[in-house]
A and B are shown apart, each in its own frame.
Chain A
């Protein structure tokens, strides 16, 4: 589908065609900018270069210099400026070249952007998105899963999708949302995961989890790349007669408590799998939620399968040890199933 300048043609939906996770994100931005002239994109190397991962390829060609803005390496300036633009009725999308760099703008996001609506009725409809996650040997500064810094911040919404369909539909929903939305794109999925997206315009609701696989013996809650790992583990568990229900959280803030509780009330057991490190990860929050609202339904402990509490190491042997994988998820689930 290459067009002039080697750019993909026009990014419109491909009519039920299989597209990559990355292409889904590109299409979402393209279509939102096509639909609404208040949508702009700002970030490092997003224009002429088309983004470090090419998620914004073809956008500058189509929408011009004023709507696709190559910025200095200044994350606070990018997000601060986007917030200022949003006060005029604009809906800027900010790209963090790697999501690791989002913490350079931590103050701007958590103190300025997130608190605006509560304090002085100033909603800031901006999207902050970027490639996250490990498994690609990016090392300690290009592999982060910093979602929980922001899940702990009232005023933000946090999305972390696992499929092309969700990535596109949720990113579109994020652009149309009247709140600041953080959108994490697991880079391991960018070119590895393909899926169908509809030809017509659609959105996926923010704050809704999805049941990816039905089961009755235990619930596995996950999101992003670990969603696929969990499904792989569930297939192996099924061969041993353990039917795991696998739920894709999709949005971490607000968390879809209803879907989580309904599943656990059915299976009575819960394993949370995430690539983020263990201490302070969302698994702990979910365990607390289950204790508060489903204690009587639990037949076993809420277990966590997560990365180690270390920085993301660089060497493949170390990183593999650091990350959860299908085998580790399988073992944890088997242990839980024994209760």
Chain B
């Protein structure tokens, strides 16, 4: 671990990352208390130990960018600007919550201001949805990047494949964060996916991927930043595998006794907040007084937010009815924001010859069409490692969070080094 500080981040950015990780954890700690007081209506999921991923990835986005957080991405919501009270009220099914009690947990969004798409419980569906936001935004001329998250478990769904493949054929400005927390409910990742690095799946879609230590917020941020900027430049989509560990059970009801004790101990020693605090202290970015200031700020903020949430009423029963359809234009206020001349996509300028033109094949440029990445089918026989039964040498590599396989674009676990490939 060197003491050299990456140059990309300003002091303020370092402290922002810290603040959001602390806020993420404090919001979830508060919800655990609410849960134990029976004030949370349904289940409570935890991102304990995974805060660096939600925070580091979302912090790499710009305000205009779009996210679709999953259940363990409270941190991403907070970075995007969602007030903690909204998250509390969602869990408590309160009438002032974003969904007014019609849905719970982190299942809410904001199309107009924060650009957040709500998740559903079925895993993977957000991948094509955020691909659609990405290619739709490109169509309108907006330089927007979209991002969503999925777990190791969710990466086995059919729609993961459909979505990422479609994104790749469209070269969508989309970044998919795969949080490999090693457990899908009670089933270990090895029982679900027969490969070492889930990032390897990117190869099947012809897209670039990264592997990053998910407990190192600086590495996560730097990796995400690079992927986001490359996606914005038209090089997307990207898959980032963040290696981490789910410290608690699937949800509050689950004591996760199926997790080996040694594994828990191993990862508890790598707490992302503690690691980062150590780094910030060593780099003299944070001292006891600074930490106290943040402690106090969080205490005050969350006490007020919690009070607001607790005082909000439950929805009136009859609110169950209605609102299924958008009637008229009042409920559909979104108007396409064109950032390119409409003449480009309307006749006569939009008109083309409807044939697959040979010269453009293989260039993979733009949104497909005549330049779609198609080839004649000439194929060279490739055996990556005949000694290894035809399997790529990488497949046998040992999982190592500190030193990810060199062949992949890996960020290092060392918190003071830039997470670049």
Contacts and interface: CB of A to CB of B under 8 A. Distances in A.
Interface of A: 5, 7, 34, 37-38, 40, 47-48, 50, 60-67, 69-72, 74-90, 92, 107-108, 111-112, 115-123, 125, 154-155, 157, 178-179
Interface string B143-185: 0001000000000001100110110011000000000000000
A120 B129 contact: no
A38 B336 contact: yes
B49 interface: no
Interface in B68-118: 98-99, 102-103, 107-109, 111, 117-118
B125 A76 contact: yes
Contacts of B103: 119-120
Contact of B162 (A60, A77, A122): A77
A289 to B, nearest CB: 18
Interface string B130-141: 111111110110
B324 A88 contact: no
A62 B352 CA distance: 7
B132 A82 contact: yes
Given A64-B350, A89-B334, A89-B336, A84 B162 contact: no
Contacts of B368: 65, 69-70
Nearest to B144: A88
Contact of A90 (B102, B120, B139, B370): B139
Contacts of B128: 74, 76-81, 84, 108
Contacts of A117: 323-326, 331
Interface centre among A71, A81, A89 (most CB of B within 10 A): A81
Interface centre among A65, A86, A87, A90 (most CB of B within 10 A): A87
B326 A123 contact: yes
Contacts of B369: 47, 64-66
B262 interface: no
B118 A116 contact: yes
Contacts of B163: 74, 76-77, 80
A79 B159 CA distance: 11
A122 B132 contact: no
B345 interface: yes
Contact of B139 (A7, A34, A66, A108): A66
A125 B331 CA distance: 11
A47 B370 CA distance: 11
Nearest to B128: A80
B136 A90 contact: yes
Contacts of B129: 80-81, 83-84, 112
Interface centre among B137, B159, B170, B368 (most CB of A within 10 A): B159
Closest 7 CB pairs of A and B: A65-B369, A84-B132, A80-B128, A81-B132, A89-B336, A85-B136, A64-B350
A34 B342 CA distance: 12
Given A84-B132, A90-B136, A111 B334 contact: no
Contacts of B117: 84, 87, 122
Interface stretch (B52-60, B195-203, B275-283, B353-361): B353-361
Interface of B: 98-99, 102-103, 107-109, 111, 117-118, 120-122, 125-137, 139-140, 142, 146, 158-159, 162-163, 165-166, 169-170, 323-329, 331-332, 334-337, 342, 345-347, 350-356, 366-370
A58 to B, nearest CB: 8
Interface centre among B126, B135, B325, B367 (most CB of A within 10 A): B325
Contacts of B337: 88-89
B116 to A, nearest CB: 9
Given A81-B131, A119-B102, A88 B137 contact: yes
Given A61-B352, A74-B166, A118-B323, A88 B140 contact: yes
A320 to B, nearest CB: 36
A88 B159 contact: no
A70 B352 CA distance: 14
Contacts of B366: 65
A58 B99 CA distance: 43
B324 A120 contact: no
Contacts of B335: 89
A61 B351 contact: yes
A116 B332 CA distance: 12
Contacts of A67: 139, 345, 350
B139 A112 contact: no
A279 B129 CA distance: 34
Given A66-B350, A108-B128, 12 more contacts: A5-B354, A61-B354, A65-B366, A66-B139, A72-B166, A77-B131, A81-B131, A82-B132, A108-B159, A119-B102, A120-B98, A120-B108
B20 to A, nearest CB: 23
A120 B350 contact: no
A62 B351 contact: yes
B136 A88 contact: yes
Nearest to B347: A62
